[in-house]
Structure formats: C-alpha cells, structure tokens
C-alpha cells in the first residue's frame, strides 16, 4: 500500500521573536516518485529547448502556426505551375488558393437558384495544365417558378 503524499511544503514557526523569516521545510518523497517526476520534467524541458518554443525572436504562436498552414513554401519549376483557372459566370470556386502549382486542386459548385449543366466540379493542375473541363451552371427556372 502506498503512503499518502505529504503536502508540498510546510512553514515552520519562527524559532525566536527576533527571527522574522519563516523557514520552509520541503518533504522528502520516495525514490520512485522523485525519479518519475524528474524524468518527466527533463523530457518536457528537452522538448521545449529542442523546438525553440519560447525563443525571443519568434513567439510560440508563430513557430506553431507554420505547422498548421495549408502549404509549405517549395520551389517548383515555372513549367509546373498553372494560370488561374477560369470560373464561368454562375459558378463558385472554392478551396483553391494561389500559387497554382503542380498537384493543386480546385472545386466548383453551383449557387442556390442554379443547377449543374456540364463540366468538371473538380480540376487539378498537372504539368502546367488544368485537368477536366470548365464547369457550367444554368439558372433553374423550375426552382424559381415552383419554389422547390
């Protein structure tokens, strides 16, 4: 059975009336508890020092923000990048951000009140060209008249 943990610290009464500063007496822990605590603290400190999370030049948020961004900065040949894809009137392009490099994908959809007519709702930049065809949406007269 394990012993209950002692409190973090105990303040003792001054030894004499002239002694105005209270002394702190820290309790001793068994070896396994102390070893585990020290081991965890060493791991945390090593992680903080390795990542440079609290450096003065860059804040923690700025260093961590780079891990969550959508795209890393990479160098690609000019021939592998595509021009901005054409968006036909009556269509909405989403999830597509410049630069349009090899492998970048874009999606299109029809707004409310329009319906799909033809084309590819998904296109991808491959070797400087967009795959698929331009998507077109047309005004939905039935929905406008009947309100469905």
> CATH 2.10.70.10 occupies which residues in the chain?
78-146
Cα 129 off chain centre by? 30
Output the pLDDT for position 73.
57
| 95-135 tens-digit pLDDT | 999 889 999 999 999 999 899 999 999 999 999 999 999 99
Is 80 exceeded by the pLDDT of residue 145? yes
For the chain, strand residue ranges (E) read 10-11, 24-25, 92-94, 105-109, 114-118, 122-126, 129-130, 136-139
- Pairwise CA distance, residues 99 & 93, whole Å: 15
pLDDT of residue 31: 45
Residue 147 φ/ψ, nearest 5 degrees: 75, 30
Q: Is the pTM of this model over 0.75?
A: no
C-alpha radius of gyration, the chain, whole number: 32
pLDDT in tens, 28-54: 544 445 556 655 656 665 655 555 544
Whole-number pLDDT of residue 104: 92
Instruction: Give the helix/strand (H/E) hosting 43.
Output: helix 31-51
Nearest to 121 by CA among 81, 89, 83, 93: 93
Q: Kindly report, residue by residue over 76-100, the tens digit of the pLDDT.
A: 555 579 999 999 999 999 999 988 9
Domain 78-146: homologous superfamily in CATH? Complement Module, domain 1 (2.10.70.10)
Give CA–CA dist 47/144, Å, rounded: 60
């Amino acid at each position: 059975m394990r012993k209950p943990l002692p409190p973090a610290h105990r303040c003792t009464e001054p030894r004499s009336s002239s002694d105005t500063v209270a002394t702190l007496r820290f309790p001793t822990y068994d070896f396994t508890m102390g070893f585990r605590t020290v081991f965890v603290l060493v791991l945390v400190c090593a992680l903080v020092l390795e990542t440079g999370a609290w450096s003065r030049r860059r804040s923690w948020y700025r260093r961590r923000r780079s891990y969550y961004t959508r795209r890393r900065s990479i160098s690609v040949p000019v021939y592998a990048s595509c021009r901005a894809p054409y968006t036909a009137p009556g269509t909405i392009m989403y999830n597509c951000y410049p630069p349009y490099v090899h492998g970048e994908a874009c999606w299109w959809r029809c707004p409310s009140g329009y319906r799909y007519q033809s084309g590819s709702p998904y296109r991808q930049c491959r070797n400087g060209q967009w795959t698929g065809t331009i998507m077109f949406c047309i005004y939905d007269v039935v929905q406008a008249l009947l309100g469905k």
